Amino acid sequence: MGVLDGKRVAVLATDGVEEVELTDPRAAVERAGATVEVVSIDTDPIQAMNSDIEPAGKHEVHRRAAEASADDYDALIMPGGTVNADRLRMDADVRSFVTAVLESGKPVAAICHAPWTLVEADLVAGRTLTSYPSLRTDIANAGGKVVDEEVAVDGNLITSRDPGDLAAFSATLVEAIAKS
């Protein structure tokens, strides 16, 4: 039996997602027993990238954000990738879904550029988080407290800086889901 048996986790991503930021946390929660679904803007397979510029794998999408509900999942993973994050933050259905999951108290784990969606959805004010360095001014301007740490945990929000933090990010995420 895995510590996450019976848990359902959404990975929110679209074209341009950073491959390893999608695959590593996904594999970690699956190894622990969770079922994972990829939620996106559309249902077409998404093109992942390595370092934003080199095409990587394609990933099946299970559900559109417009049809996803916080009630359907026990946690949310938000991988980065500059293009991925920029596209997601501009989608009203994505912002609504992220807001619903975060406000439900369920774990939300965002790495690298993913906090851009949190900023756009007005979800960082009064929270402590970390991100890729280029987002830190945006987070601070939105009322968040920025720290430069491997993993920042503020209530049910887990954030990390970049792929170098993935081991700690994934371990913290699995532990948070297990406790929820």
The yes-or-no answer on residue 62 being catalytic is no
CA 17 to chain centre: 10
The yes-or-no answer on residue 59 being catalytic is no
pTM here is 0.98
DSSP one-letter string for 41-70 = SSSSPEEEEETTTEEEEEE---EEGGG--G
CA gap 180, 170 in Å, rounded: 15
Which CATH architecture best describes the domain 8-179?
A: 3-Layer(aba) Sandwich (3.40)
Residue in the block written with tokens 């968040």: 144
Q: Which of 7, 26, 87, 113 is catalytic?
A: 113
Q: Which of 13, 75, 112, 118 is catalytic?
A: 112
Over its length of 180 residues, how does the chain's per-residue pLDDT go in tens digits? 799 999 999 999 999 999 999 999 999 999 999 999 999 999 999 999 999 999 999 999 999 999 999 999 999 999 999 999 999 999 999 999 999 999 999 999 999 999 999 999 999 999 999 999 999 999 999 999 999 999 999 999 999 999 999 999 999 999 999 999
Domain boundaries in the chain?
8-179
From residue 32, alpha-carbon distances to 26, 49, 171, 176 in Å are 10, 26, 10, 12
